[in-house]
Amino acid sequence: MSSTWKNNISFTVFGESHGAAIGVCIDDLPPGESIDFDKVCEFMARRAPKKSVTSTHRSEKDHPTIVSGYYNGKTTGTPLCAFIANTDQHSNDYSNLSKLARPGHADYTGALRYRGFNDFRGGGHFSGRLTAPLCFAGAIAAQILEKRGIYVGAHIAEIHGIKDKNFDPINTDKDMIREIRQKEFPVIIDVQGNEMVKEIDRARKDKDSVGGIVECIAINVPAGIGSPMFDGLENSIAQLIFGIPAVKGLEFGAGFDTVMMTGSENNDEFYVNDKGHVVTRTNNHGGILGGISSGMPITLRVAFKPTPSISKPQETVDYSAIKNETLEIKGRHDPCVVPRAVPCVEAAVNIALLNHMLDYPNF
């Protein structure tokens, strides 16, 4: 099933943007793990809409209701299921879209795949709203990992050409990760963040949208996690990252910049540090070699397209009558999805890491 990811951990995301609720069911979590649900809600709040020019005005509390798999403050080992009520839908905003293909959306492809029976309101199951249950699962995974000293953090690396400073691929620590998590607009250099906000607001006023890049890092991941070929760390991370709507690109380490390097420039030389650990002097490989963690920080960058829901008139088709039409999209939409995507990227990486860490001796 397309909305189920199954490996050492399996989880299913369910619901539609304008249905009664959305949710997630996570199976094969280790039993006896203490979970602080206040911290889960804090994680999810980072994804929720903000009262700012960068975000939609749809207001959802996104408070998860636990149905099973949690008792006396700990995971039971049985499926952990949670649902999140939808409370602020404006379905009438989509009354004219039942047969019109919104450019950049999955309306047309979804109608073909599900023979016209899919719920199109707000994007239905294709909506960015479905990243809320992903963040719930990722927040659970984060707490389990952090008890083992593994931290995942992300920030806005770029908005429409305006760039933030990158994470240090060798020396980033948990304090920096925690500091960025506390920010309303998660960047390293606040001055650059202010310029990004202005650029997003310009697009909003022009009835348009912009895209950008999220950079993510995972620290203290032990060496030797993952597998070659089709079950590697990169494979798992990529599969989950591409489950986030609007993702169009992914690179690890130096990524596409490696095409401009020679082998001697790209190779990360090994040495034994003062603690007796095998490490590398640089980290172009992004902490993964042959699908297996090297012990260096895992680094990746995720490209997000501009929000496809824009208010400018656009040409499209009525796919029921096979005729050309002009469309003006109504409703409440983010002029840029990137700020709210930061915890979504963290969530995907948390889940992938926990999945592979379950193979680690004495986890």
Any domain includes 145:
yes
DSSP 8-class letter at 270: E
Q: What is the pTM of this model?
A: 0.93
Task: Give the pLDDT of residue 49.
Answer: 82
| Cα–Cα distance measured from residue 101 to residue 108, given in angstroms and rounded to the nearest whole number | 5
**pLDDT, tens digit (0-9, with 9 covering 90-100), for 235-289:** 999 999 999 999 999 999 999 999 999 999 999 999 999 999 999 999 999 999 9
Q: Is 322 left (phi over 0), alpha (psi -120 to 50) or beta?
A: left
Which amino acid would we find at residue 145?
L
Write out the two tokens for 299: 């680094």
Per the domain annotation, does 362 fall within a domain? no
The stretches of 213-298 forming alpha helices (DSSP H) are 233-241, 263-266
What's CA 95's distance to the chain center, in Å?
A: 29
Q: What is the DSSP string of 171-219?
A: T--HHHHHHHHT-SS--SSHHHHHHHHHHHHHHHHTT----EEEEEEEE
pLDDT of residue 330: 75
DSSP state of 99: S
Number of domains in the chain: 1
β-bridge mates for residue 162, sequence order: 159
Reported as a single tens digit per residue, the pLDDT across 274-314 is 999 999 999 999 999 999 999 999 999 999 999 998 888 99
User: Dihedral of the CA atoms 146, 247, 342, 165 (nearest 10)?
Assistant: 100
Residue 52 in any domain: the answer is: yes
Q: Where in the sequence is the domain holding 326, given as residue range(s)?
A: 4-357
**List of residues 6+ apart from 79 with CB closer than 8 A:** 25, 26, 27, 68, 69
Burial of 235: CB neighbours in 10 Å, binned 0-12, 13-18, 19+? middle
Q: Which two tokens stand for residue 160?
A: 């429409």
What CATH number corresponds to the domain at position 270? 3.60.150.10
What is the helix (H) or strand (E) element at residue 156, kind and residue range? strand 151-159
Give the β-pairing of 70-71 and 298-304.
unpaired
Series of mean pLDDT values for 10-residue runs along the chain (363 residues): 89 90 95 96 91 61 91 95 82 63 86 83 83 97 98 98 98 97 97 98 95 98 96 97 96 97 98 95 98 98 94 87 83 88 98 96 85
340-to-193, 204, 238, 289 alpha-carbon distances in Å: 14, 16, 19, 30
Question: Does residue 142 lie within any of the structural domains?
Answer: yes
Q: Is residue 210 part of a domain?
A: yes
Task: Label residues 348-359 b or e (16+ Cβ within 10 Å = b).
Answer: bbbbbbbbbbbe
CA angle at residue 236 from 231 to 242, to 5 degrees? 140
Phi, psi torsion values for 308, nearest 5 degrees: -75, -20
Q: How does strand 323-327 pair with strand 314-318?
A: antiparallel
The CB density around residue 285, as the number of other CB atoms within 10 Å, is 21
Residue 318 φ then ψ, to 5°: -90, 105
Maximum alpha-carbon separation in the chain: 71
**Three-state DSSP class for 13?**
strand
Strand partners, 154: 216
Does residue 65 lie in a domain region? yes
Residue-wise pLDDT for 124-139, tens only, equals 788 889 999 999 999 9
In a domain, 287, yes or no: yes
Backbone φ/ψ region at 147: left (φ over 0), alpha (ψ -120 to 50), beta: alpha
Residue 89's pLDDT is what?
57
What's the pLDDT at 53? 66
Does the residue 110 lie in any domain? Answer: yes
- Tokens standing for 164? 């933030």
CA distance linking residue 40 with residue 347, whole number of Å = 11
Reported residue count of the chain is: 363
